[in-house]
């Protein structure tokens, strides 16, 4: 999962490095056309997210994932052949179609293989590749930028190289990754049963290919689901804009092309620091939403600095530090996915919830670049005002969701005739047997299900 997600984030973010390699000039992009190259990826994800989640439920998950990996690798390599905006839009849209399988597939795999206590760390591990790709991508881009007088442009070499590597990796995943613990033939039958029993206490099941309409309706009426969806959107909107325009913003601060590449490496390290610290603290203190609230605060602080400080040679270091503060979005995304994987049970309800969450994520990322208007550069004041607003909404929703899950646990314990407890999730004194863990019940149906927050 870690290597695949690294390839996905690196491939999708390649356009950011190409933006200062000459792709905008070589393909004659004008006005908002460059922003649309990021937006179209997320529009494709928006349209294909539910179908791909349904296919994940129906098809062998590992094989379907492997097909999509090789497909997006081929599409990425084809980007090098584009000569105008139309060609770039086509390949970028196809890239979104094939790449949108990654996150829902990994969340499903996490619920199959890992306990709820482990899921934040697992999700954090693959999500940290958002930062690692900045480090490696910066080094690769810098190395390729040193190539002169080649037949291909630097950005064409970048797309071709990464596309071919990803295509080969997809073949390896097809041959190696098992579809579930029960189908992991590299283990003995006894070990496979033990792996399935290990996640029994999750009460979220392993796999069920039947689409149950009542679970879909329950998902659509569940406040928990919609709160997670809203957090996914509010966290993604700033991410989408900063991801597409970060190198352009850094260049506007007065840094050279070489310095921008090197600063991308530092940016990647900071993203990984946020992610791993959030994952570790979540496992250490069994807190998700409280940490999500805390990790949103640096984003707010950095954005306020952008709004208040003028760009100049004297302020560029301070603005750079403020920019690094806004990289806490990855930690919030990890914690939000951990809340989803740990609190939504019933395979159909999980499919619907996952679709809604990643559709919201796609909408946020699609809108994000569009708030950075070409006539508002170099400071992009309107964009950062929009960021402040969505961060405010995010903080309120996180607070309300935590109260909601606390109340749900209290009601379930009361129904279970257990003494009240302030413990998050399962109380050892309740004596839960998890008899319905593999019955494909939703979190509301299962009397032994306990929420984690």
Using one digit for the tens of pLDDT, what is the confidence trace for 114-173?
A: 887 777 788 878 878 877 887 787 778 778 878 877 788 888 888 899 999 999 999 999
User: What pLDDT, in 10s, does the model give residues 246-297?
Assistant: 656 666 666 676 677 677 778 788 888 888 888 889 888 889 999 999 999 9
DSSP state of 424: S
At residue 5, the pLDDT reads 86
At residue 404, the pLDDT reads 94
pTM, two decimals, is 0.77
Average pLDDT over residues 212-237: 93
Q: Compute CA distances 257 → 21, 146, 152, 169, whole Å.
A: 9, 12, 20, 31
Separation of alpha carbons 347 and 184, rounded Å: 20
Q: Compute CA distances 279 → 5, 73, 287, 335, 401, whole Å.
A: 17, 29, 10, 7, 19
Average pLDDT over residues 21-47: 82
Separation of alpha carbons 343 and 351, rounded Å: 13
Nearest to 140 by CA among 103, 167, 165: 165
Q: What share of the chain in percent tops pLDDT 70?
A: 88
Window from 67-71, 248-252, 329-333, 382-386 with minimum mean pLDDT: 248-252
Asked if residue 41 has pLDDT above 80, the reply is yes
Asked if residue 84 has pLDDT above 80, the reply is yes
Contact 111, 202 (CB under 8 A): yes
């Amino acid at each position: 999962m870690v290597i695949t997600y690294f390839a996905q984030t690196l491939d999708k973010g390649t356009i950011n490095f190409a933006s200062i390699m000459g792709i905008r000039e070589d393909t004659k992009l004008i006005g908002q056309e460059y922003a649309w190259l990021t937006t179209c990826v997320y529009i494709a994800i928006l349209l294909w997210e539910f179908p791909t989640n349904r296919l994940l439920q129906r098809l062998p998950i590992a094989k379907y994932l492997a097909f999509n990996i090789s497909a997006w690798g081929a599409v990425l390599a084809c980007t090098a052949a584009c000569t105008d905006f139309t060609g770039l839009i086509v390949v970028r849209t196809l890239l979104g179609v094939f790449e949108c399988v990654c996150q829902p597939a990994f969340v499903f795999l996490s619920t199959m293989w890992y306990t709820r206590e482990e899921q934040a760390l697992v999700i954090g591990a693959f999500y940290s590749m958002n930062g690692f790709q900045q480090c490696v991508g910066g080094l690769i881009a810098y190395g390729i930028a040193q190539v002169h007088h080649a037949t291909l442009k630097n950005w064409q070499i970048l797309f071709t190289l990464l596309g071919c590597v990803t295509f080969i990796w997809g073949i390896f995943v097809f041959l190696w990754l098992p579809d579930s613990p029960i189908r992991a033939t590299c283990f003995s039958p006894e070990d496979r049963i033990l792996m399935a029993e290990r996640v029994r206490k999750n009460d979220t099941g392993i796999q069920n290919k039947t689409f149950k309409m009542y679970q879909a309706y329950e998902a659509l009426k569940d406040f928990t689901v919609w709160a997670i969806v809203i957090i996914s959107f509010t966290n993604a909107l700033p991410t989408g804009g900063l991801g597409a325009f970060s190198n352009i913003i850094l260049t506007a601060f007065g840094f050279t092309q070489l310095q921008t590449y090197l600063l991308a490496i530092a940016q990647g390290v900071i993203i990984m620091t946020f992610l791993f610290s959030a994952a570790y603290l979540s496992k250490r203190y069994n807190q998700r939403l409280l940490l999500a609230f805390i990790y949103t605060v640096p984003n707010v602080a950095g954005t306020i600095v952008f709004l208040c400080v003028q760009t100049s040679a004297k302020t560029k270091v301070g603005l750079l530090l403020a920019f690094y503060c806004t990289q806490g979005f990855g930690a919030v995304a990890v914690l939000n996915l951990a809340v989803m994987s740990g609190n939504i049970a019933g395979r159909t309800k999980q499919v619907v919830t996952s679709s809604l969450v990643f559709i919201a994520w796609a909408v946020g990322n699609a809108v994000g670049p569009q708030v950075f208007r070409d006539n508002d550069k170099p400071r992009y004041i309107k964009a950062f005002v929009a960021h402040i607003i969505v961060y405010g909404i995010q903080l309120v929703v996180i607070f309300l969701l935590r109260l909601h899950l606390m109340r749900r646990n209290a009601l379930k314990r009361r129904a279970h005739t257990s003494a009240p407890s302030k413990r998050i999730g399962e109380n050892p004194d309740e004596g839960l047997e998890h008899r319905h863990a593999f019955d494909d019940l939703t979190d509301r149906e299962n009397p032994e299900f306990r929420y984690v927050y």
